[in-house]
Chains A and B, each alone.
Chain A
Amino acid sequence: MKKVLITCLRNESDTIESSQVINSFIKYNPKSHITVLCYKDYYQSAKLLSGVHEVTTIDRDRVNHLLSGELYSDAFAINSFTQSLNSILSTKWDTIVNLSNDEVSAYLAPLISPDEIIGTYISDVGSALTSNKWAMYQNFVSDVDTYNTIHPIDIRHHMMGIPFANDSQSTLVKMENDFATLAAQKFSKIRSQKSGRANIIGICLSHPETTKTYMSIDSLIEIVDTLRLSDHFIPLLITNGSDTEKDIVSQLNHRDNSIISVNADTAALPSVIANLDALISQPNKALSLAQCLDVLTIEVKPPAVKGNVYQEGSFSIHLQEEDSSFHDDALFLLNSVSDSYLPMESQNSNNKVYAIVKDEYSTFRTLVRGEQNTTFEVLYNIQRCFNFTMMGYPINEDLISDIRAHIPNEKLNSIIDFSRDEIIVTSKLLLKTIRSLKSIEQASNGLEFFVQNLDELISRSHNQLIESSAIALFEGRIENIKGLDRDKNLKEIEKFLFQLKSDLHNLSLIFEKLTRKEEVKNINL
């Protein structure tokens, strides 16, 4: 039996999301013994993952407390850490997967020395090595991809070389029978409160893991009151029992204390969410669970937070500001999926509301409400098309046709012209770098000049340009050069520079297809 260690050392939502990849992996590798390594603070969430045989934890709070306290010997922190890792260190692993692409796992993997490492790991010279092109994408490109064009779940499937297992019978997260039975009974009772079969809309009050901001209380009051007064909806609040959330519940119950609220611990949460007809939530573990359980999800995404939704049929409300109101957006979406008419204050929105849809490449988002920023939406789609092309896929002709059909040619040209100007700058810098590489031996400071140009080129990956992803991938390729022979390494870099040139050429090709003159005439007719 293959022994596989999957490390999830980023955050709780990410750990729950890993259920999708683990499920797909097991389908295509049924004879595998899967162990998950996570932090102790979200052990309960890791225990929910289906198909996982063992969960091992690191008590990072204890390690940090002991290391940072001047009273405590560092020995105790080290002992705590090694005790956590004992079973892992004493096992001969076939494969370790750094699924969450975190730094701890990148150091642990070479320490543990499995037969195979999938993902990012640190070399003996301190560089970030990646097992394949998709691991390289996850480590180098994801961070500079302003538009978040490819979801981590898709990236990880590619990284592990497995197709998406869309098996509707499989359960991605475990549900305890007792909780499931009890939840089903209670929810059935709740539904019968209104004539016919009411839709129970869950509203998770918790903040995302990366910020401490809560949803606008005014919007929550509007949503809860509107649903409460409707014939076919019942609001249900999901809380974690904290004082802040208890306070929010009180405010939402200001009228008659009739709103149902559930304080479910992690073990019971899947049973609660599985019985909802929809969940409204910020990106957090409840939202990740809803995605695993195929519950209609309406994500409320603050500006500084990365969205989590990936299931086709989900929605994401991208807030204009942290405390922006969003009740009309949520009610609009509920109306659109359930053919209802919940009253709204305004048909317009300052936010951007996206539906998650799917094509043969991956899931992606499309604007369904809110003022369209044409430049932003077009660039998102071009970026997505380019990123897949860069990873070896054919150019998405359907997407290109779609853009051409919906965007006026003049507007499209002005968007592309701006990007072209930036690509020209990048291309000039690229050529300068190639030339300086070829003339290293011709000047005493030839190497220094080359490195300077190389650094300047790589730094453009952080300028939020369309070609940033290609430059980041180029940087990844250089990081993965393992040899010590200077001349061989320079030859490799030269190869990668020409690879980058080819990627930029593909981007120009995409622009050309978008602005092809002979087809413009047909549209004008």
Chain B
Amino acid sequence: MDDKNSRLKIQTSRSGHPVPQLDEIYLHSVYNPIKEAASFADSQMELIKRKPNILILGLGFGYHIQEIISLQKVRFNNHKIVVIEPNKELVQMYKEHFHPNFEIYCYDTVAQYFEDINFTNYLTLKPTIIKHDPSFNTNKDFYVNFLTYRAPNKIDSFHHLLNPIAKGMLESSSRTLDESLVDVSERQHINSKSEYFLFALNAVARSAQEKI
């Protein structure tokens, strides 16, 4: 059975708000999820005021996210919240109840997140990361894998992500970029345009590292 898509029910809290229940675990307070979310956001204040961009691990039913957004609005003109949530059913249910004012990324595997260029672009902004504990605990393996992810670096593992021009420039191979460069250096002969391309790419990266 797929952990993420275990029985998901929507209950109503004492305060009248919908609260998802996943495998007997409530993702928010059954009494007052709004109050709980405000308290949660307060506890994360140091992280929230650091940067305008925040990555939240776990959608829940968005109460914690709305509190964080309201705190962000006061501090930053241009802020952005992105949420990752692997449970498709939960995302679907959330959208039936609310209209999200933040971005949600929902993929089956960890690798798929990092293969999404828009998500990657957001990560290059180095957002603050805040985890929603109830969401995190119901899918710990996924989130731990997410936080410890390292992109595969063999060319054949990412060749499918290359745009058409890049595919024409770089042949698929079981070597990494660095290994390919070493191969050429040891061979002492540049055999193809692909190899000129690799050296140029390497030199561009070094020039960025060397500038003040």
Contact = CB atoms under 8 A, between A and B. Distances in A.
A86 interface: yes
A107 B190 CA distance: 11
B207 A60 contact: yes
A209 B212 contact: yes
A66 interface: yes
Interface in A390-419: none
A9 interface: yes
Contacts of B124: 62, 65-66, 69, 72
Given A72-B120, A75-B158, A75-B161, A67 B190 contact: no
B115 A78 contact: no
A63 B169 contact: no
A153 B123 CA distance: 42
A518 to B, nearest CB: 54
A312 B3 CA distance: 77
Task: State the majority secondary structure of interface residues on B.
Answer: helix
Contacts of A65: 124, 208
Nearest to A212: B212
B165 A71 contact: no
A68 B196 contact: no
Contact of B151 (A9, A39, A71, A102): A71
A305 to B, nearest CB: 12
A211 interface: yes
Given A86-B165, A107-B196, A71 B208 contact: no
A210 B123 CA distance: 30
Contact of B196 (A66, A72, A110): A110
A64 B208 contact: yes
B204 interface: yes
Given A39-B207, A111-B197, A70 B212 contact: no
B166 interface: yes
A83 interface: yes
A321 interface: no
A60 B165 contact: no
B47 interface: no
A58 interface: yes
A212 B211 CA distance: 11
Contacts of B208: 60-61, 63-65
A89 B165 contact: yes
B158 A73 contact: yes
B165 A74 contact: no
Interface in A93-127: 102-104, 107-108, 110-111, 122-126
Interface in B143-180: 149-153, 155, 158-159, 161-163, 165-166, 169-170, 176-177
A10 to B, nearest CB: 9
A9 B149 CA distance: 34
B199 interface: yes
Contacts of A489: none
A62 B193 CA distance: 23
B189 interface: yes
B117 interface: yes
Contacts of A111: 193, 196-197, 200
Contacts of A60: 204-205, 207-208
A409 B204 CA distance: 52
A7 B151 CA distance: 33
A83 B163 CA distance: 9
Interface string A244-272: 00000000000000000000000000000
B158 A77 contact: no
B204 A79 contact: no
Interface string B48-88: 00000000000000000000000000000000000000000
A86 B164 CA distance: 11
Nearest to B123: A71
B93 interface: no
A123 to B, nearest CB: 8
Residue from B155, B161, B197, B204 with most neighbouring chain A CB atoms (10 Å): B204
Contact of B201 (A73, A78, A110, A122): A78
A77 B199 CA distance: 14
B45 interface: no
A76 B120 contact: yes
A422 to B, nearest CB: 33
A75 B188 contact: no
A82 B163 contact: yes
B114 interface: yes
A74 B180 CA distance: 13
A226 B199 CA distance: 53
Contacts of A63: 201, 204-205, 208
A164 interface: no
Contacts of B165: 82-83, 85-86, 89
A156 to B, nearest CB: 20
Contacts of A61: 208
Contacts of A9: 207
Contacts of A147: none
A11 B207 CA distance: 10
Contacts of A107: 196-197, 199-200, 203
Nearest to B111: A73
A81 interface: yes
Contact of B190 (A11, A102, A122): A122
A73 B115 contact: yes
A480 B159 CA distance: 36
A126 B120 contact: no
B169 A82 contact: yes
Given A63-B205, A78-B201, 19 more contacts: A60-B208, A64-B208, A71-B149, A72-B120, A74-B153, A74-B158, A77-B201, A79-B166, A81-B201, A82-B169, A103-B206, A103-B207, A104-B200, A107-B203, A108-B196, A110-B196, A111-B196, A124-B190, A210-B212
Interface of B: 114-115, 117, 120, 123-124, 149-153, 155, 158-159, 161-163, 165-166, 169-170, 176-177, 185, 188-191, 193, 196-197, 199-201, 203-209, 211-212
14 contacts: A41-B211, A61-B208, A63-B208, A64-B204, A69-B124, A70-B150, A71-B114, A78-B170, A79-B166, A82-B166, A107-B197, A107-B200, A126-B185, A126-B189
Q: Which 8 A-B pairs have the closest CB atoms?
A: A64-B208, A75-B161, A107-B200, A75-B158, A111-B196, A60-B208, A82-B166, A64-B205
